Amino acid sequence: MDIAELNEKIKNESAFIDLLLGEIRKVIVGQKEMIERLIVGLLGNGHILLEGVPGLAKTLAITTLSSAMKAKFQRIQFTPDLLPADLIGTQIYNQKDGNFLIKKGPIFANFILADEINRAPAKVQSALLEAMQERQITIGKETFKLEEPFLVLATQNPIEQEGTYPLPEAQVDRFMLKVKITYPARDEELAIMRQNINNTAKQVQPVISPNDILRGRELIKQIYIDGKIEKYILDIVFASRNPAEFGLNNLVDMINYGGSPRATINLALGAKAMAFIKRRGYVIPEDVRAICHDVLRHRIAVTYEAEAENITPEYIINEILNKVEVP
């Protein structure tokens, strides 16, 4: 299939994205980037870590997304007393039959909102790892496959760290994207206020099915990514590991470790998903740059010296993007 034919096919097959976005925007005012990243995560078969202060529609966004998709949604509030069984389920003894029955937990859904994930202890966080990576859950001796699509949307509150358990690097790396949410613009907040005080929010109707997302994932595999774009992705990730090789000597003492191979994979997948959302059958450098911060910000660890100088992963990513040659 040539590029023109592939482009036409993707343009036609990705029409459901406009339906989905239109339905979500009936309820969510602004937050275009967050909504876009949710769909990128869905299409890229990845999970998303959201960081933002309370009240920025994180829960509402994923509830709306699941409603627009005829999908099952579960919200789990992570607390210090949460147990793994509260998340994945447990075995219950049936006195009548003398057998153990499996009681499945709330993880058995299409969309999981892990609210304030860093408030639960490590053993609960690790219980989520098998579900995120293997798309399955083991209870006792039985293993259960999770339904597709399966998306974990975890939230963190950046302004309150007392009584929290920072996520280990191995778990953070399993999130495809880390999205930072900011306050809405003044006109957007006015619209939000009016919508809520006048109760004018519209009801979300299911406009697509989970099968549309699964079909979209297969179509994304066909999106063309040129060898020069692949080299560009590799250069960005390798520059985060060995900045001196790319003339970024000022970053050598700032980076503890750079992006993992998952960063390379997710940068390519994210760029393809961005092209799909833009209804193109090929990836351009702007797709890579658009998703780069979300893929890399949780995979680049800064040194203590850099932290003392208030150097952030975002600053390092900007320096890399400014230095690495765009094809």
DSSP string of 309-322? TT--HHHHHHHHHH
Helix, strand, or coil (residue 70): coil
Tokens describing residue 219: 């179509």
* Residue 255 and residue 303 in contact, taking contact as beta carbons nearer than 8 Å: yes
Task: Taking each helix axis as running N to C, give the angle between helix 261-277 and helix 285-296, from 0 to 180 degrees, rounded to the nearest 10.
Answer: 130
pTM (2 decimals)?
A: 0.84
Task: Taking each helix axis as running N to C, give the angle between helix 15-24 and helix 32-43, from 0 to 180 degrees, rounded to the nearest 10.
Answer: 140
For domain 27-196, give the fold: Rossmann fold (3.40.50)
Residue 109's nearest CA partner among 135, 71, 153 is 71
The CATH superfamily of 223-323 is Magnesium chelatase subunit I, C-Terminal domain (1.10.8.80)
Q: What is the residue type of 292?
A: C
- Per DSSP, 116 falls in state T
Assess whether pLDDT exceeds 80 at residue 55.
no
Residue 150's nearest CA partner among 91, 204, 103, 106 is 106
Q: What is the residue type of 137?
A: I
Task: List every span in the chain annotated with CATH 1.10.8.80.
Answer: 223-323
Tokens describing residue 302: 């800064």
* Residue 66 and residue 101 in contact, taking contact as beta carbons nearer than 8 Å: no
Task: List every span in the chain annotated with CATH 3.40.50.300.
Answer: 27-196
| Mean of per-residue pLDDT scores for the chain | 85
Tokens describing residue 39: 């769909």
- List, in order, residues 6 or more apart from 58 with CB less than 8 Å away: 34, 50, 52, 113, 153, 155, 181
179-203 average pLDDT score: 81
List, for residues 196-254, the tens digit of each pLDDT value.
787 766 778 888 888 888 888 888 888 889 999 999 999 999 999 998 888 888 888 88
List, for residues 110-156, the tens digit of each pLDDT value.
888 888 888 888 788 778 877 888 888 888 788 888 888 888 888 88
List, for residues 87-96, the tens digit of each pLDDT value.
888 888 877 7
